[in-house]
Amino acid sequence: MRNKIQACIIDDEQYGRDYISLLMQNEFPEINIHFQASSVEEAYLYLIKNSPDILFLDVQLGDGTTFDLLSKFKEIHSQIIFITAYENFAIQAIKNGATDYLLKPINKVDFIIAVNKALDNIKKRQPSNTPLFKDNKILLSTLQGFKIVDISYIIRCEADSSYTTFYLTNKTKIMVSKTLHEFEPILLENNFFRIHHKHLINVDHLQEYIKGRGGQVVMSDESVLDVSYRKKNDFLSKIGKTE
């Protein structure tokens, strides 16, 4: 599991990207600038495979706006800080879940406040205790208390808003009042793969893949699940296959 906070800068001006990078290096050296993009397309190709903790977004890009980019995703878990020369997009930015909205030229104090706000939000979203227990077991809190489950016994996980249901090899299921996103980093390290925004599967329990636009998988509990089209190639690569 990664420990360092990761950020991505999306700005069509090299100067803008360089200045944000310099501010981050000087004021927040503990944060890693993981990627920089100058267009909607470039940023989209990055974000379908990565989920940075913080996104710095300019509004107007050469091939569209960052609102066009955000509309391509059902959900974005990153803290979003807009940095733009345009005042009139603030309301739209707030509707897109902006952590803060800064105007160019960047005021250093405002920038530091915005990043600290993002860091506070990231900290608040982290579980109070890690769901990983020990010896490849995971702790799942329930209304009645908690259960400790061997990760290898989990066939699949299904997201439903702020809840996650775990389907186990003994044909039982456990519903937990946490998002699938909170469990994803741990489970991905244990041969799980998110085939769809609703489904995270244990590849060890995969029985069959059915071809299609995205395709479908059949799991060991005989469930048939859709594979997102944008996840298809990465999924096939994960299991060492191509169509």
Q: What is the DSSP letter of 38?
A: S
Q: Return the pLDDT at 243.
A: 60
Q: Return the pLDDT at 192.
A: 95
Nearest CA among 193, 167, 195, 165 for reference residue 180: 165
Average pLDDT over the chain, rounded to an integer:
90
Q: What is the CA radius of gyration of the chain?
A: 20
Give the residue range(s) of CATH 3.40.50.2300 domains in the chain: 6-125
The residue type found at 167 is Y
Q: Return the pLDDT at 1.
A: 41
- Which residue shows structure tokens 């952590």? 99
Q: Which CATH superfamily is domain 137-238 in?
A: LytTr DNA-binding domain (2.40.50.1020)
CATH of 6-125, one of 2.30.30.110, 3.40.50.300, 3.40.50.2300, 3.20.20.70: 3.40.50.2300
* 100-155 confidence digits (pLDDT tens): 999 999 999 999 999 999 998 887 775 544 566 567 889 888 877 888 999 999 99
Q: Return the pLDDT at 236.
A: 93
Q: Return the pLDDT at 101.
A: 96
Name the stretches of the chain with pLDDT < 50.
1-2, 128-129
Q: Rounded to 5, what percent of the chain is helix, strand, coil? A: 35, 35, 35
